[in-house]
Amino acid sequence: MKVRDVMPTVENTHNFDIVPDSHTQVGTTLENLKAAVIGETGASAKYAAFAKAAREQGYEQIARQFEATSAAEQIHIGLEAGLIAQEEPDYVKPEPPDMSGAATDVNLISGALGEIYETSDMYPSFIKKAQEEGNAKAVQVFSRAKLAEAVHAELYLESYNNIDAPDDDAYYLCPVCGYIHKGDDFEKCPICFMPKDKFRKF
């Protein structure tokens, strides 16, 4: 993803449409935030299990990638749960489900499919509803998550295609928005502009 001059938002980018065969059940923004937390909690647990499987199967770099992406989803959970707690101070986050991994190439595709769903269907649907409700904070949290998920998907497919040709690259996680960069050839987050020295290396 290229670094833009301004932060990408619903107003200044053009890929916030919703796929025609949407599978997202849209409620109020508060309900959508809770649904997003449940989805992200499942994704984070799934990637943690996939990381363990990848390491056992000898894919150390992909294990780090899954760990970085699992941590990215925790950032989204924190942002979304924070907005929920503003309306419901007693809100308790859901427990992570038990997850297990299969073969690493299949796990990469499973991860990519989940990320593509989130970036092209779930988050755009939730963004549209938050806009209708005039909830600017939710629009921003959902929008940044949507953009990060697209990059997670892209990186999973890259690893799928290169599974037999790993390199030495590390994965760098933006601690603000959950964007991940493969390799150290970057200066700042293309989504939220956080500088590289704030990133977490995996």
CA atoms of 14 and 174, how far apart (whole Å): 23
Q: Would you say 133 or 157 has its CB closer to Fe ion?
A: 157
Please state the closest distance from residue 188 (CB atom) to Fe ion, in A: 8
Residue 71 CA to residue 21 CA, distance in Å, equals: 29
User: Is residue 179 within the footprint of Fe ion (CB under 5 A)?
Assistant: yes
Stretch that binds Fe ion, among 14-22, 29-37, 60-68, 190-198 (CB under 5 A): 190-198
Give me the amino acid identity at 94: P
- Choose which of 169, 194, 196, 200 interacts with Fe ion (CB under 5 A): 194
Size of the site for Fe ion (CB under 5 A): 11
Q: Is 174 in the site for Fe ion (CB under 5 A)?
A: yes
Taking CB under 5 A as the binding criterion, the range among 18-26, 87-95, 143-151, 165-173 that sits at the site for Fe ion is 143-151
Per-residue mark of binding to Fe ion, 98-127 (x: CB under 5 A): -----------------x------------
The C-alpha atoms of residue 191 and residue 168 are separated, in whole angstroms, by 25
| Options 64, 125, 149, 150; binder of Fe ion; rule CB under 5 A | 149
189 binds Fe ion (CB under 5 A): yes
Stretch that binds Fe ion, among 8-16, 133-141, 161-169, 193-201 (CB under 5 A): 193-201
Contact between 49 and Fe ion per CB under 5 A? no
Least distance (Å) between residue 89 CB and Fe ion: 28
Instruction: Give the burial class of 13: count Cβ atoms within 10 A of its Cβ; 0-12 exposed, 13-18 middle, 19 or more buried.
Output: middle
Q: What is the CA radius of gyration of the chain?
A: 16
Our separate counts of H helices and E strands in the chain read 5, 3
Give the burial class of 127: count Cβ atoms within 10 A of its Cβ; 0-12 exposed, 13-18 middle, 19 or more buried: buried
Closest CA to 40 of 109, 107, 117, 100: 117
| Residue matched to tokens 């894919």 | 59
155 binds Fe ion (CB under 5 A): no
Name the residues that contact Fe ion, by CB under 5 A: 115, 149, 152, 174, 176-177, 179, 189, 191-192, 194
